[in-house]
Chain A
Amino acid sequence: MNDLDPVVGIDLGTTNSVVAAVQDGVPRVIPGRTGQPLTPSVVAIAKNGKRLVGALAKRQAITNPEGTVFAAKRLIGRRWGSQEVEDARKVLPYALVAGPEGHDVRVELGGRAVSIPEISALVLAELKADAEAFLGRQVRRAVVTVPAYFNDGQRQATKDAGRLAGLEVLRIVNEPTAAALAYGFGKQVQSKVVVFDLGGGTFDVSVLDIGKSVYDVIAVGGDTYLGGEDFDRRVMDWLTFGFAKEHGGVDLRRDKMALQRARDAAERAKCELSSAATAAIHLPFLLGGGEGKGALHLDRQLSREGLEELTKDLVDRCIAVTERTLKDAGVRPAQVGEVILVGGMTRMPRVQRAVREFFGREPCKGVHPDEVVALGAAIQAHALAAPAKGDDVLLLDVTPQNLGLLVVGGYFQTVIPRNTTVPTAQTHLFTTVTDDQTSVRIAVLQGESERAVENDLLGEFVLDGIPPARRGEISIEVTFEISADGIVGVSAKDVATGQRQSITVTATSGLTEEELRRILDEQLDEQLQRKQTTREIEERRQWVARMVGDIEALVPATRDALERTRFGGDALRKAEAVLARARAAMQARDGDALAAEVEPLERTLALFQGLAAGGRAPGGR
């Protein structure tokens, strides 16, 4: 492996993603090709069938709500039929369907059911391309961050997304831990640090003990269902109710485009209120009035106090989670040496005040809440790619939830308790309960409830090939492992013979290995096809360029004739539109778009040539 091969750190966020790398010993955010440090985590299939990622996808979201996927992180690694997915289906404008096995979630996009890791992979691939353009080298390895509270399925799916994007994911790192790494970079930190991470979709809080460049996580807590989008939704609901009240019960959410506009406006107002005392929400022509009435407009003012009132309980929930996590860590607020705020939502003054009141100290202002996670990921990536120079950082993270098994009576038995330092392993003995039993089924779950059904099912494993014997005579030793990524592994062996038992996974919430392979193969085919068609596109582009040039040359000669009549003016406008589309297609080197413009160009050229020769406007057809 080449030591100089660059490795990057990626913060794959709910709303925005960031990529960073260590250069000359300093972690730096890599700007996207649009020059912005943040890339919206949005993927779209545009009306013309083109795939868009990032800012381009976000920009067309209002006019294309069904074809635009945002907040995919809320769905990644979730099981079809889970509460989270059911809730998401009610509020998301794009359609969700079950995967082929009925376990995972797919997005209906461009007539295809696309898996969530594939969506995330498109965002990752965009960041990879940005990094490659910036660094001028191929990027093959990355560290990707996830919320600390993500379970095994969500971590596995994120890793799959990396693979689909052509990245070897060296490590999955928890976002608050990464933030602590970035905070401690270049300092000699020797204290207990709390990271308060309120992002777009999730809330995480971590307590770390930092010393001798070792970042030892003592406890993590969080809520995967609490984030900036919940704040947005409160504002949205307020707008919706107000609108309904004003216009006699009209529900603006019926209209997908109106919903998307209101959603954007709600988010914008929320952000504005972090620096201003009031925000105006002005959405003209939001809905058609129907029944001969005029269009309905939305025009309201929201004050900072108003927003705080709408979201008070959300802030209170953050503090309650923080309190519990500190208790888990055995740390009192006064013992905390530093509080680091991460995530865009921590810009809200009310959130900062709540943190200040709880800890009795000013939170750290030295880190950039949007960039700190990616910077930390880059530091860890660097440490893993070029390790052991003595002063390198070392991360010791913990598992966020209890890992355990389903036992008789529907109860949950913990095997590895939460806040155990990873990597870790635990061994359990299983025995047969009937004579000549040849297989044992083990359901592995993750969660906090003592009732199995209330926890997340990671998978069902079947141990088979057990030699026939009287019940209880066979002992099988099952080892549960949690890797440094927080990903769970299960292996088993027969105690008597020492033989390893085979294990089959019968249910997971992600892509199967075959499916992953198939998608990767398809990608390869696509690439080969692309190479083949590049030449074809180039030829077509030249042909289009020639026609555009010819038409442009004829414009001065025909303008007079065209502008004299109504029909002529119309034709000129149409011709200009054709030219604009053709130019855009040339710039994008989009083969299909180019092909689509050939015929209109030919017609326009014929018309212009006729006009230039005859000097007369067309009389209409």
Chain B
Amino acid sequence: MSSDKYSGFQFAPAELGEDVELDLDRRKDVLFAAAHADRWTHWEALGLPWNASVEAARAAYLGKVKLFHPDRYAGRRLGSYQGRLERVFRRITEARDVLADEGRRAAYARETAPPEVRAQLEARRLEDERRASERRARLVRQNPIVGRASRVGELVARAKDALAEGRLREASNDLRLALDLDPRHPEAVRLAPEARRRAAGQRAAELVHEGATAEATGRPGAALAAYREALAVEPGNVRAAAAGARAALAAGDVAAARTLADAAVRAGPQAAIAHEALGMVLDAQGERKEARRALERALELDPGRASAKERLKGLRWSFLG
């Protein structure tokens, strides 16, 4: 029976015979698990079948952890088994982290689907694709105007791929071309503004990052320029406005900082960074009470915001004397 449990695993006598305070069964469990930890799938690590539920994963983990947690053997002589226990514990915990989270579990289940399940899914997908292309071909045969439509369709499809892969500028271009050919193509009409907006957002994010780097290396002037450009590309970018206010402050331009901070709050009335930036600027302008209110608002929106908390504390203390 026990040979079944370890599926014919050959235990090294030297390892099995080490002078430690663990009974024989436990030694075998640990040696077997440690030898397989790296090869196991998450399912195997917890002794579960493919696609087991989150609840099953949790329950299995609780069982395994009672066997393999080093604390279960605290104060005993464990020799080389100590390291093995720790390794196995980490491995089953890693499996639990994936399988006890519904989102990650589902993704992992798709990834690790057994061949027959995967073949079924693949066949279904191919079948859908085949039908769609047949339908398209039939339409082209029936109507010459559809010829142009299919080229528009190609552009839109390419744009959609680019969109999915994050090549936003390409997507935006393809959609513009598609709209030139067919200004009323419903998908192109629907996607184009979004692609344009996201492309702008991406560019703005790049500029914000550039600004942050300049700021971190002590060049507030360059940072301010980058943030301003980001705002020009994407006028509603709260981060750019808030960070710009900070950079302007560092560059000594309080008036510009105020304009940017106000813009940040307008763009993101619910954004803690915006209120924090406004608080900083107000503080610099000597409006302590207003500054405090802005910082409190920032903390209300994001209570864990340590920087705002500290600034607020600073204000409180100087207020108290």
A residues whose Cβ falls under 8 Å from a Cβ of B: 1, 83, 87, 90, 170, 209, 211-214, 216, 221, 223, 225, 237, 251, 313, 316-317, 320-321, 324, 330, 383-388, 392, 394-396, 409-411, 421, 423-425, 447-449, 451, 454, 484
Contacts and interface: CB of A to CB of B under 8 A. Distances in A.
8 contacts: A87-B317, A324-B304, A394-B69, A394-B71, A424-B90, A447-B306, A448-B304, A451-B216
A321 B306 CA distance: 12
Interface of B: 58-59, 62-63, 65-66, 69-76, 86, 89-90, 93, 96-97, 101, 212-213, 216-217, 296, 299-300, 303-304, 306-307, 309-310, 313, 317, 320-321
Given A237-B320, A317-B303, A394-B65, A83 B313 contact: yes
Contacts of A212: 62-63, 66
A216 B62 contact: yes
Contact of A396 (B69, B86, B213): B69
Contacts of A410: 216-217
Contacts of A321: 303-304
Given A1-B75, A237-B320, A387-B74, A214 B296 contact: no
B65 A449 contact: no
A316 B296 CA distance: 12
A330 B101 contact: yes
Given A387-B72, A424-B90, A449 B317 contact: no
A451 B216 CA distance: 9
Nearest to B313: A87
B234 to A, nearest CB: 21
Contacts of B74: 170, 383-385, 387
- Most A C-beta atoms less than 10 A away, residue of B69, B96, B296: B69
A387 B71 contact: yes
Please name the 5 residue pairs, one residue from A and one from B, whose CB atoms are nearest each other, closest first.
A320-B303, A410-B216, A384-B74, A212-B62, A214-B62
Nearest to A237: B320
A392 to B, nearest CB: 8
- Most A C-beta atoms less than 10 A away, residue of B70, B299, B303, B307: B303
Nearest to A330: B101
Given A383-B71, A387-B74, A211 B313 contact: no
Contacts of B93: 396, 421, 424
A214 B96 CA distance: 14
Contacts of A484: 70-71
Contacts of A454: 306-307
B273 to A, nearest CB: 12
A395 B71 contact: yes
Given A225-B309, A387-B74, A409-B213, A394 B66 contact: yes
A486 to B, nearest CB: 14
A411 B216 contact: yes
Nearest to B87: A425
Contacts of B59: 211
A284 B310 CA distance: 36
Nearest to A321: B303
Contact of A384 (B58, B75, B89): B75
Contacts of A384: 71, 74-75
B94 to A, nearest CB: 9
A611 B69 CA distance: 80
Given A212-B63, A214-B62, A321-B304, A394 B216 contact: no
Nearest to B93: A421
B65 A396 contact: yes
Contacts of B212: 409
Nearest to A393: B71
Given A317-B303, A424-B90, A424-B93, A83 B70 contact: no
Contact of A388 (B72, B213, B321): B72
A459 to B, nearest CB: 20
Given A384-B71, A387-B71, A423 B89 contact: yes
Contacts of B306: 447-449, 454
A384 B72 CA distance: 8
Given A209-B58, A317-B303, A409-B217, A394 B72 contact: yes
A409 B69 contact: no
Contacts of A421: 93, 96-97
A262 B58 CA distance: 52
A212 B217 CA distance: 53
Contacts of A1: 75
- Most A C-beta atoms less than 10 A away, residue of B71, B86, B217, B307: B71
B303 A324 contact: yes
Nearest to A318: B303
A400 to B, nearest CB: 12
A22 to B, nearest CB: 15
Given A385-B75, A396-B65, A409-B213, A423 B307 contact: no
Contacts of A392: 72
Nearest to A253: B321
A435 B87 CA distance: 36
B90 A83 contact: no
Nearest to B212: A409
A237 B316 CA distance: 11
B73 A388 contact: yes
A214 B62 CA distance: 7
B303 A83 contact: no
Nearest to A450: B212
A221 B304 CA distance: 9
Contacts of A316: 300
Contacts of A223: 303-304
A391 B319 CA distance: 56
A225 B72 CA distance: 35
A189 to B, nearest CB: 12
B296 A313 contact: yes
A376 B73 CA distance: 20
B26 to A, nearest CB: 9
Nearest to A422: B93
A90 B90 contact: no
Given A384-B75, A421-B96, 12 more contacts: A212-B63, A212-B66, A214-B62, A317-B303, A320-B303, A321-B303, A324-B304, A388-B72, A388-B73, A410-B216, A424-B93, A449-B307
A174 B320 CA distance: 34
Contacts of B69: 394, 396
Contacts of A225: 309
A381 to B, nearest CB: 10
Contacts of A237: 320
Contacts of B90: 423-425
A87 B310 CA distance: 10
Nearest to A1: B75
Given A87-B317, A209-B58, A321-B303, A387 B75 contact: yes
A221 B300 CA distance: 16
Contacts of B213: 409
A423 B97 CA distance: 14
A221 B303 CA distance: 11
A320 B317 CA distance: 23
B66 A423 contact: no
A387 to B, nearest CB: 5
Contacts of A221: 304
Contacts of A387: 71-76
B81 to A, nearest CB: 13
A395 B66 CA distance: 10
B317 A90 contact: yes
Contacts of B72: 387-388, 392, 394
Nearest to A218: B100
